[in-house]
Amino acid sequence: MKNLKYIPLLAISFLLIISSACSSDSDESKDLINRLAQLQENITETQEQIEELSNNPSNLEEDEISDPVTEVSTDEDPAPTSTETPATSSEAPESTVAPELPAKSNVIVAAQGVLGWSVEGEWVEVDEAPVDPLSVPAEEGDLYRVFRVGSVTNTDVLGSAPTEGCPPLMGYTVEITIDDPMFEAEGWPYTFPIAISSNWDLTPNEVELLDLDSEIYKGFASDLLAEYGVIDPDPTLTALVRTDLEGDGVDEVIIAAERLAGGSLLFPSSGDYSILFIRKLIEGEVTRQIFGVSVVPDDEDPESSFATINATRLIAVADLNGDGSMEIAFGGAYYEGSSTHVVEMLTDVEGFNEVLSVGCGA
């Protein structure tokens, strides 16, 4: 390649010799000189192009090699971050193609958008913004089950193709429209359901709804509220579920309570609250683990403190990845946005992992 550089130089020398030998007619020689100058310009240009070409192929090759390596290394991460960019798919080796999903690919949809899905029990989150709707393994006509604690589960519900969601900031979530009345807001407050396109048993262990007037569990809610400055001996329970999440033979109880005397999340009253927590035995000891707590203490004037309430509501207790152990899905809402979260409880120590979440709002 380097030898090519000498060809233009040789050509220039050769033409200069010719021009000096044939300079009898002044017009002709001027013309010749002009053409020579033009030629020289072209040659310089060609030379630059040759140099560019001789440098760039190695760079291009490096780029082509480094891309798949980067993409392959993301395989450790369950989220298929950049493996499905259509623009590069033609150049990418087969190994970077998204993992093959079983029929009915377990896509989980919340009111704010697609939460994620699972591949052989492994959670897969939706890419961060800007999201690519094509990265979600769902298509128009997929069938979903739509469910919510305390409601009848609807089956064979049609879903739309994935599109960009979360207006006006399109691209923050992937939206799939689920053709079910539970997904249509009916006033406020409203707890949206979730939908899943899997075909396994969502509740391998019984999910029992307890009486919301239970004095015992009202007492546990009262205790928690008192710690946050709200004295309410008769709190309003909004969800009370007893189940054995992981099937270890020991029941857990999930408790939600909410009071919105102010009538809104933005303008609450003193003593308003929204709490969601679980009581769970770990190594014989009862633990209390909190998913959400938001209160306006009794002695606080929300008008002067501008206090607001973030509501946390239980949506579902279900096995969302088909591993036989149930997760807890709950919604978060504040005055200008909302979110849905899926958590799995740890079994041997206190705590939980948030495995999926989706949110939309300012």
- Number of residues binding to Ca ion, judged by CB under 5 A: 7
* Shortest spacing between CB 205 and Ca ion, in angstroms: 8
**Closer residue to Ca ion in complex, CB, 74/203:** 203
**Closer residue to Ca ion in complex, CB, 46/279:** 279
**Residues 177, 160: contact at Cβ < 8 Å?**
yes
Burial label for 358, CB within 10 Å (0-12, 13-18, 19+), is buried
**Closer residue to Ca ion in complex, CB, 106/112:** 106
**Closer residue to Ca ion in complex, CB, 254/296:** 254
Can you list the positions of beta strands (E) in the chain?
A: 108-110, 113-119, 122-125, 143-147, 154-158, 163-165, 173-175, 194-196, 207-209, 237-243, 252-259, 273-282, 285-295, 311-318, 327-334, 337-345, 352-361
* Residue of 126, 313, 319, 328 interacting with Ca ion (CB under 5 A): 319
Of 88-96, 185-193, 209-217, 320-328, the segment contacting Ca ion by CB under 5 A is 320-328
323 is a contact residue toward Ca ion (CB under 5 A): yes
325 is a contact residue toward Ca ion (CB under 5 A): yes
CA nearest neighbour of 266 among 193, 329, 192, 189: 189
**Closer residue to Ca ion in complex, CB, 34/347:** 347
**Closer residue to Ca ion in complex, CB, 308/325:** 325
* Shortest spacing between CB 125 and Ca ion, in angstroms: 15
191 is a contact residue toward Ca ion (CB under 5 A): no
321 is a contact residue toward Ca ion (CB under 5 A): yes
**Cross-strand pairs, 295:** 273
**Residues 311, 265: contact at Cβ < 8 Å?**
yes
Opening angle at CA 325, ends 277 and 279, nearest 5: 20
* Shortest spacing between CB 321 and Ca ion, in angstroms: 4
**Closer residue to Ca ion in complex, CB, 191/198:** 198
Q: How far apart are CA 350 and CA 341, in angstroms?
A: 18
118 is a contact residue toward Ca ion (CB under 5 A): no
Distance of CA 221 to the CA centre of its chain: 32
Q: How far apart are CA 317 and CA 343, in angstroms?
A: 10
248 is a contact residue toward Ca ion (CB under 5 A): yes
The radius of gyration of the chain's CA atoms, rounded to the nearest angstrom, is 33
250 is a contact residue toward Ca ion (CB under 5 A): yes
* Residue of 51, 132, 244, 298 interacting with Ca ion (CB under 5 A): 244
Binding stretches for Ca ion (CB under 5 A): 244, 248, 250, 319, 321, 323, 325
